[in-house]
Structure 1
Amino acid sequence: MSNTQANTKVETSPKKDFGHNGNFVQENRKSLTFIIAAIVALVVIYFAYQKIYLGPRESEAQDQMHVAQENWAKKDWDKALKGDASYPGFEKIISDYSNTKAANLAYYYGGIAYLNKGEYRKAIDYLSNYHGDDSMVSAEALGGTGDAYVELKDLDKAASYFKKAADKANNKFLSPLYLKKLGLVYEAQNDNKSAVDAYKKIKSDYSDSAEAQNIDEYIARAEAKLNQ
């Protein structure tokens, strides 16, 4: 073998590339130290941001929002959304206190308010921006979105959201409600088999719910359409 060939073989050896006896770590110690320091700094900045900046804003937003919530409970939708000279409405809470839990919840309240006002596109925009861990509120946001799509005659999307709402709620109060709405949408689409399945799920899984009390009538009606 020539000297040229031998030298080439040594230069392409994996051991040459990655170092001998753990030298890779030694040779890159400065880079690794810098990366670790950067990660630690980011963590410190994140918690400082949460405590120093978001913490006070969160408290202030919640304090500012309680009047809007009271107006919402009274079904004074315009005042709940727009506020007055003394207290902001949900729209301003979202604008002034973005990235807070209060602003996130304001999206839900605002969406339901717009739904009741008949402004369905705005209702969908607001409800779609709500992201929460509470299964009840999340289910209501999904169900409200389904209601808005029904009003807009987009039954495919309405069915999708009612199904998500029923699954998300997973309780005897909201799940049968949204399953019934899902069945009605399926009937409107002439998908009577799916309607029967939705109604029968109410009967089997939520037999003690209010919706289950007369669900046999809905099952019979959808089944009759199947046999036509």
Structure 2
Amino acid sequence: MTETTHKAADAPVTKDFQLQDSVHKAEDFYYKNKNVINIALLVIVVVIGGTFAYNKFIKAPNEKKAQDMVFHAQQYFEQDSFKLALNGDGNNYGFIQVLDKYSSTKTGQLSKYYAGVCYVKLGEFQKGADLLTSFSGGDQIVQAMAYGLAGDAYMELGKTSDGIDYYKKAGHYSDNELTAPIYLFRAGMALEKAGKSADAVELYKEIRTKYPQTNEGREMDKYLARLGEVRN
């Protein structure tokens, strides 16, 4: 009984000793590597502080400046004055200037989309396609429209394969009834033009199945029948 009590009393002492030994090891590690550790901690603090400062003192003010700068360009765009919207009127900036100056802002990125649309409307299809294919927006419908309009530009350039790729990309990017059936249908028509009727049939069937209540969905039986696909 005495022996058992003695062992039980020894256990906490051993545990405390191990804990103390572990603390000493941690202290030794710190003192041996404190320069590296302190630098690493400083970097973390600087990164966090720098990110906060960038967002508050650079990013936010630049976003506001870009929004102010793009105002007249948007007005010209709404009036279908695409040259003025694109390049400005001499007193006010156009989308190209906003994009050049504030490309890192959300407004700058949206200006890229608008500029791409302007180029396509003005018949400068390659410039439009270049901007629209590099556009990266947060809105799924706008992004789908950018891909779809790039498809239009490539078709105008006679680049049917690229046109098909971007129509399909637009149609599959956002699963909605507004843009998806339109661009999938354009992809199907382009595939027919390229002599790829079987691939067109697959897209027409997809539209009929997924978007039966849309204008395109209701028309698919007619287009499928023309290609020899009759619903049983």
Q: TM-score range by the shorter chain?
A: 0.7 to 0.9
* 2:194 is aligned with 1:189: yes
Instruction: Give 1:29's aligned residue.
Output: 34
| CA distance, structure 2, for counterparts of residue 118 and residue 24 of structure 1 | 68
TM-score normalised to structure 2 length: 0.82
Whole-Å Cα distance in 2 between the matches of residues 74 and 201 of structure 1? Answer: 37
Where do 1:89-168 residues align within 5 Å? 89-168=94-173
Which amino acid in the other structure matches residue 215 of structure 1?
Answer: M
Q: 1:31 to 1:151 in 2, by over 3 A?
A: same
1:1-228 residue pairs with structure 2 within 5 A? 27-223=32-228
TM-score, length of structure 1 as denominator length: 0.84
Answer whether contact 1:196 1:223 (CA < 8 A) is retained. no
Aligned pair count reads 205
Whole-angstrom distance in 1 between the partners of 2:208 and 2:30 = 64
CA distance in 2 between partners of 1:152 and 1:202 (Å): 26
Contact 1:104 1:129 in 2 (8 A): no
User: SS of the residue aligned with 2:228?
Assistant: helix
Displacement after TM superposition at 1:211 (Å) = 1.2
Report the equivalent of 1:5: none
Percent identity over paired residues: 33
Q: Gaps (5+ residues) in structure 1?
A: 1-20
RMSD in angstroms over aligned alpha carbons?
1.8
> Is the contact made by 1:176 and 1:206 (CA closer than 8 Å) also made in structure 2?
yes
Output the CA distance in 2 between the equivalents of 1:183 and 1:84: 41
